[in-house]
Amino acid sequence: MRIAVVGGGPGGLYFAALVKRIAPRHEVVLWEKGGVEDEVGFGVVFSDGALGGVQAADPRLFDVLGDRFVHWDAVDVRYRGETLSRGGYRFSAVERRALLHLLRERCAEVGVTVHFGTEAPPVPLLSEDFDVVVAADGVGSATRAARADAFGPDLRPSASRYLWMGTDRVFDALTFTVVETPHGTMQAHSYPYAPGWSTFIVETTDRVLAASGLDVPDRAPEATAAAVADLFADQLDGHRLVCAGSRWGRFTVVRNRRWVDGNVVLLGDAAHTTHFSVGSGTKLAMEDAVALAMALSDHGVPEGLAAYEAERMPVVAKTQHVAEVSRDWFERVDEHVGLPAADFAAHLVTRSGRIGRLDLPLVDHGHVERVRTWFSEALSGTG
């Protein structure tokens, strides 16, 4: 089988490495338009603390990655000078760059052909030339846009804006900070992801951004980071924020009516997104990769593509629902600012009673065992 993969994010890379490992005779070619060192994004958090089937599909990868994970069990809410802490959770995080680096190494080890710094050929060409085309080209997927009639995308941009940054202030919990600036409310989502480093995502409305003068198009990203750091000075304890070139973005919820069109299939953010406040996007993209690799191996094309879509769509829909409730809550944070600290923290952690951590899909141990057994059987004999 000849397989083309458009996009070398966590979804595309993991799929390519898995499918080539299962069937070394397949030709697997991946295009990534960014260069090897171009990744944005600091850490990625995995909200239930376990990677479930993603880990079971390639335990050796996660043995290596394991040393890079940071683990913790608390959620802190910082509000009006108080810090309210709730324990009993399980979180882990890793540097996105480290994850991508190891996935690339894995692709090289198993013999995937990877073209970095190279835009993929047009999909009609790929679709003719390859048995399967996996569109793992992210939230702005051009593949999805080119075949909008077939995929039926539903794109909902958020009302708020975010800036994804890092800081050398080390947080020891998933920390939500609310700051009441002279221009309005701003909030930060932060968590540790590597020794000496935490992710720091600031979110606010267009109105606050315009009034605070933080969204000046020609301003250097590092100057913006410094201005944001001034607003969060109490939380950062004199530490700095770094942007690594990232700019104010608008989170977009992506859904599609279908994920398969002929031999072209959507995977990861191209198919679906979940708001960063529930930290599931990377895991979902990698779970898609596992499911697609298994389905193609079991059923071939086109049945495998249909099986993948049927398996993944309902699972993803559940997480997307939770994520959207969470996003809505953060977008309307002003409705809760003014509550006493304990009430505010309780609202935030349970998102007004509508979501709690138990609403996020939990690890399905039966599924994990099935993935583990499937991969160890598929790999016995391939070396």
C-alpha distance from residue 233 to each of 12, 98, 227, 230, 238 (Å): 38, 29, 10, 5, 6
Regarding 41 and contact with ligand FAD (CB under 6 A), the answer is yes
Which tokens go with 108? Answer: 């090289």
CB 100 within 8 A of CB 39: yes
CB 67 within 8 A of CB 330: no
**Triad 89, 276, 99: Cα angle to 5°:** 80
Regarding 177 and contact with ligand FAD (CB under 6 A), the answer is no
Write the binding mask 199 to 218 for ligand FAD: x where contact by CB under 6 A, - elsewhere.
--x-----------------
Regarding 166 and contact with ligand FAD (CB under 6 A), the answer is no
Footprint on residues 219-278 left by ligand FAD (CB under 6 A): 251, 268-269, 276
User: Which of 11/304 has CB closer to ligand FAD?
Assistant: 11
Regarding 12 and contact with ligand FAD (CB under 6 A), the answer is yes
Out of 4, 5, 120, 316, the residue judged to bind ligand FAD by CB under 6 A: 120
Regarding 11 and contact with ligand FAD (CB under 6 A), the answer is yes
CA separation for the pair 245, 225 (Å, rounded): 10
Count the residues of the shown chain that bind ligand FAD, applying the rule CB under 6 A: 33
Q: Among candidates 261, 306, 266, 303, which has minimal Cα distance to 288? A: 266
Which tokens go with 18? Answer: 């898995």
Regarding 42 and contact with ligand FAD (CB under 6 A), the answer is no
- Give me the least distance between CB of 69 and ligand FAD, in Å please: 13
Regarding 136 and contact with ligand FAD (CB under 6 A), the answer is yes
Pairing of strands 184-194, 174-181: antiparallel
First to last CA, the chain: 19
Interface with ligand FAD by CB under 6 A: which range of 27-35, 51-59, 75-83, 166-174?
27-35
User: Which of 44/378 has CB closer to ligand FAD?
Assistant: 44
SS3 annotation, 78-113: EECCEEEEECCCCEEEEEHHHHHHHHHHHHHHHCCE
Regarding 280 and contact with ligand FAD (CB under 6 A), the answer is yes
Regarding 137 and contact with ligand FAD (CB under 6 A), the answer is yes
- Give me the least distance between CB of 338 and ligand FAD, in Å please: 27
Out of 127, 282, 319, 326, the residue judged to bind ligand FAD by CB under 6 A: 282
Out of 1, 23, 27, 34, the residue judged to bind ligand FAD by CB under 6 A: 34
Q: How many CA atoms lie within 13 A of 240 on its CB side?
A: 8
Footprint on residues 320-379 left by ligand FAD (CB under 6 A): none
Regarding 279 and contact with ligand FAD (CB under 6 A), the answer is yes
Backbone angles phi, psi at 280, to 5 degrees: -130, -10
User: Which of 154/303 has CB closer to ligand FAD?
Assistant: 154
CA separation for the pair 23, 57 (Å, rounded): 14
SS3 annotation, 266-291: ECHHHCCCCCHHHCCHHHHHHHHHHH
- Give me the least distance between CB of 118 and ligand FAD, in Å please: 7
Regarding 98 and contact with ligand FAD (CB under 6 A), the answer is no
User: Which of 263/277 has CB closer to ligand FAD?
Assistant: 277
**Triad 41, 46, 49: Cα angle to 5°:** 150
Q: What is the DSSP letter of 170?
A: P
User: Which of 24/117 has CB closer to ligand FAD?
Assistant: 117
Interface with ligand FAD by CB under 6 A: which range of 135-143, 233-241, 257-265, 367-375?
135-143
Say what angle helices 10-22 and 96-110 make with each other, to 10 degrees. 30
CB 17 within 8 A of CB 106: yes
CA separation for the pair 331, 158 (Å, rounded): 8
Regarding 192 and contact with ligand FAD (CB under 6 A), the answer is no
Binding site for ligand FAD (CB under 6 A): 6-12, 31-34, 41, 44-45, 119-120, 136-138, 142, 162, 164, 201, 251, 268-269, 276, 279-283, 285
